[in-house]
Structure 1
Amino acid sequence: MAENDGFRNDWATKDFYKVLGVGKDATTAEIKKAYRKLARANHPDSNPGDNAKHDTFKAVAEAYDVLGDPAKRKKYDEFRQLQATGGLGGFGGGFGGGQGGGFGGGAFNLDDLLRERAGAGGGFGDMFGDLFGGTGATRRTQSRPTKGADVETTATIGFTEALEGVTVSLRLTSDAPCHTCNGTGGKPGTKPHICTTCDGAGFVVASVGGAFSMNETCPACGGRQLVYDEACPTCHGSGRGQSTRSIQARIPAGVKNGQRIRLRGKGAPGEHGGPPGDLYVTVKVSGHRIFGRKGDNLTLDVPISFDEAALGAEIKIPTLSGAPVTLKIPAGTPNGRTFRLRGKGARRADGTTGDLLATVHVQVPATLDPAAREAVEAYRAARADKPLRTGLFEAS
């Protein structure tokens, strides 16, 4: 049967009294005593690497979660009695229909029966919801593999390194189990005891209003289920510390300034065999002395003289690789014109490259020697009958 309002079919067939080794008429004190004895003998912290005892500990904690609560125990006993007498139509074997056995008979309504038994109008979900985790949440155990935390860092690289790719060394600090106590929270050499606040369950039940409740991490033991005579002097009982390490990270070619890169499995280490988290690197790219960048294209401002713009010329300009290329300037080139040199830009992710965008800027000399002045004055005289600004005064 699938879960319904937190109910788990496998729990319906478990004998929690047998798990704890007590009789059905055992007192609350006897149940608690049996639980503590079994939990202490089978706790994972006391039996590292013993999977059989780890499984036993989980079963013991599960049984005590039900039998240790008088209200839950009462409902569990009623349910087991109904199951034993056939009042649930062989519930332990499934909910298949049929005559006199399941839901198919028509005259028998399980929800009505459970509503009557529970003394409340909620039916099946209300009667057994809090018995099997009313909110549908499952109890988290300490031995469950947990993925490590993600880590954020920043790397500053050069302009050329961003275009070609580079391997950088990063020093990372992340949350980790305390190195002194290995995450137990206790002073090395001291003995652990079952937490009396949660009775070793690792969680406490908190009311969230009305008939609803939810499990919260025990504030006394932090979910570790054990407490120690003396707290760890390094982490002061928290069980947590910081891990500092250096890693080599590959920044791919073509990365842009401000881009965030995800490196899988390079974050904080996982716990209880869980996978490590991820590392997110925000890349900052330093500027270049003469080159700029526009997407996958490089940009370059190229100064040219008046005569080169007017008469045309072939000039040499640099590329990022260092090998100069020839740029042909046509006669009559205006100031600010951009020329595209294909394949001389930034490398793309697919291995191709962008272009180099060279923008020319006509330079006006601040001073002229006598020969240059004479030449410019001759040019002015030749252009005297062709004023440039006539169109500014024409009526629109």
Structure 2
Amino acid sequence: MAREDLYKVLGVDKKASPEEVKKAYRKLARQYHPDRNPDNKSAEERFKEVQGAYDVLGDAEKRKQYDRGGLSSLFGGGAPGGAPGGGFAGGAGPQDFGGISDILSNLFGNAPGGPPGGGKGGQRRQRPEKGRDVETSVQVTFQQAMEGVQVSLTVPTAQTCGTCRGAGTKPGTSPIMCPRCQGRGVEAQGQGVFSISTPCSQCGGGGTIIEDPCATCRGSGSIRTVKKYRVNIPPGVREGSKVRINGKGEAGINGGPPGDLFVLTHVESSSIFDRKGDNVEVEVPITFPEAARGAEVEVPTLNGRKKLRVPAGTSSGTVQRLRGEGPAKLGGGGHGDIHYRFVIDVPSDLSKEQSDAVDKLSKATKGDPRSRLFAATTEGAGQSSGKGKGGKSEG
């Protein structure tokens, strides 16, 4: 497969910037997404091709390696949509280095033919690795977030190839030891303890090369597919909460366990309730007579309605709490509270009857409520003046 193929899949030039690649991918992904093309196998296949191409061209390192040697360099003879998290032959990547034998091998710069860094016969063993986690998002209403809801999701992901069972090789064949690094997966530059080890440029650090790739996955060990799930969103989620679905991510590498699926929740705002951590807040308008004399008012809850007693003399901004009636706490920690903030409703335009009533109330109200603001100032000034006189008389 020519190296220009992936660029043709996304419809971009080889010199396209990362932003141009991303823009082209998003446009095509929206166009061919299974949700927009139900029961359209052609669109589904095109969607997989677009995903596979972006897996390579959307990653700076994979794109460089692809441009240097095409698919044979990046996938060991494979195709776009390679093994998750790596994209190297056999599913291994630079992160595969580790263990005391590898460290000693890298440190002392074993020569080809000497003790290998990984296994018997000069070939590095491919350790099982967990598959890559997958993240998707879902939009729910405020009420669904409070009560919990089951949603349907369509998730593009990579799954283990059923033909080669993830090996990447043609059934009945096996990878061969890399002739360049003699199976160690690294190339050493320099001598002794000052040598620098880098991933092998031919096998990508896997220690092996696939000569006869699997016809189904073309050597990658995995295939791009679209999975459909029904996921339970628990009650109490908020904006940005992540719901974890174990084992529904991408397939593991070399027999490792699959990754997990994370569902990011976006919660629509409510016209009544304002989320405040584990609690919600509601602004409740009350009239001046209700605030002055006290009253019983009806307020909304997450599940219906309740009545609250407004004490006589309630001032605007007073908060009354309804314990345990708020959102469910994630993790089984009970429920939060609902905070009701009473706000005195002042009409902007008074009718003649209302204006007369306000005049009567004003005449009946005795005293200046702002006088106490100046009492302390006046008292302080008098004390200051007295001290000054006393100082003079003593002098």
Secondary structure of the residue aligned to 1:274 is coil
**1:281-360 alignment, distance < 5 Å:** 281-322=263-304, 324-348=305-329, 349-350=331-332, 352-360=334-342
* Cα distance in 2 between the residues matched to 1:239 and 1:379: 84
Q: Which residue of 2 aligns with 1:388?
A: 369
Does the CA contact (< 8 Å) of 1:178 and 1:242 recur in 2? no
* Cα distance in 2 between the residues matched to 1:370 and 1:357: 36
For residues 13-41 of structure 1, give each alpha carbon's deviation from its aligned partner in whole angstroms, at most 9, with x where no partner exists: xxxxxxxxxxxxxxxxxxxxxxxxxxxxx
Q: Which residue of 2 aligns with 1:261?
A: 243
* Cα distance in 2 between the residues matched to 1:373 and 1:292: 35
Secondary structure of the residue aligned to 1:161 is helix
For residues 293-345 of structure 1, give each alpha carbon's deviation from its aligned partner in whole angstroms, at most 9, with x where no partner exists: 222222111011111111111111111102x1111111111001001122221
345, 362, 373: which is aligned to 2:355?
373
* Cα distance in 1 between the residues matched to 2:182 and 2:118: 18
Q: Which residue of 1 aligns with 2:188?
A: 207
Does the CA contact (< 8 Å) of 1:151 and 1:280 recur in 2? yes
Secondary structure of the residue aligned to 2:265 is strand
CA-CA distance at 1:213 after TM superposition: 7.0
Q: Which residue of 1 aligns with 2:256?
A: 274
Does the CA contact (< 8 Å) of 2:154 and 2:227 recur in 1? yes
Is 1:151 aligned with 2:129? Answer: no
Equivalent AA in structure 1 for residue 255 of structure 2: G
Larger radius of gyration: 1
**1:131-150 alignment, distance < 5 Å:** 131-133=114-116, 140-141=124-125, 144-150=127-133
Equivalent AA in structure 2 for residue 266 of structure 1: K
Equivalent AA in structure 1 for residue 283 of structure 2: D
CA-CA distance at 1:198 after TM superposition: 2.3
CA-CA distance at 1:249 after TM superposition: 2.4
Query: Structure 1 residues 264 and 233, CA, compared in 2 at 3 Å: closer, same or farther?
Result: closer
Secondary structure of the residue aligned to 1:227 is coil
Structure (1/2) with the larger helix percentage: 2
CA-CA distance at 1:381 after TM superposition: 1.2
Equivalent AA in structure 1 for residue 125 of structure 2: T
Q: Which residue of 1 aligns with 2:209?
A: 225
Q: TM-score, normalised by structure 2?
A: 0.56
CA-CA distance at 1:266 after TM superposition: 1.8
Structure 1 residue runs of 5 or longer lacking an equivalent are 1-124
Q: How many residues align?
A: 266
Equivalent AA in structure 2 for residue 380 of structure 1: S
Q: Bigger CA drift: 301-310 or 287-296?
A: 287-296
Does the CA contact (< 8 Å) of 2:166 and 2:253 recur in 1? no
CA-CA distance at 1:150 after TM superposition: 1.4
**1:171-182 alignment, distance < 5 Å:** 171-176=154-159
Does the CA contact (< 8 Å) of 1:290 and 1:300 recur in 2? yes
Equivalent AA in structure 1 for residue 277 of structure 2: G
Is 1:165 aligned with 2:116? Answer: no
Query: Structure 1 residues 269 and 150, CA, compared in 2 at 3 Å: closer, same or farther?
Result: same
Query: Structure 1 residues 157 and 224, CA, compared in 2 at 3 Å: closer, same or farther?
Result: farther
Equivalent AA in structure 2 for residue 312 of structure 1: G
Equivalent AA in structure 1 for residue 308 of structure 2: L
* Cα distance in 1 between the residues matched to 2:355 and 2:259: 71
Structure 2 residue runs of 5 or longer lacking an equivalent are 1-106, 381-395
Does the CA contact (< 8 Å) of 1:200 and 1:225 recur in 2? no
* Cα distance in 1 between the residues matched to 2:166 and 2:208: 9
Secondary structure of the residue aligned to 2:211 is strand
Query: Structure 1 residues 344 and 219, CA, compared in 2 at 3 Å: closer, same or farther?
Result: same
Q: Which residue of 2 aligns with 1:198?
A: 179
Query: Structure 1 residues 139 and 264, CA, compared in 2 at 3 Å: closer, same or farther?
Result: farther
Q: Bigger CA drift: 160-169 or 290-299?
A: 160-169
* Cα distance in 2 between the residues matched to 1:152 and 1:215: 31
Query: Structure 1 residues 200 and 387, CA, compared in 2 at 3 Å: closer, same or farther?
Result: closer
Does the CA contact (< 8 Å) of 2:160 and 2:252 recur in 1? no
- Report 1 or 2 for greater relative contact order, CA contacts < 8 Å, sequence distance ≥ 6: 2
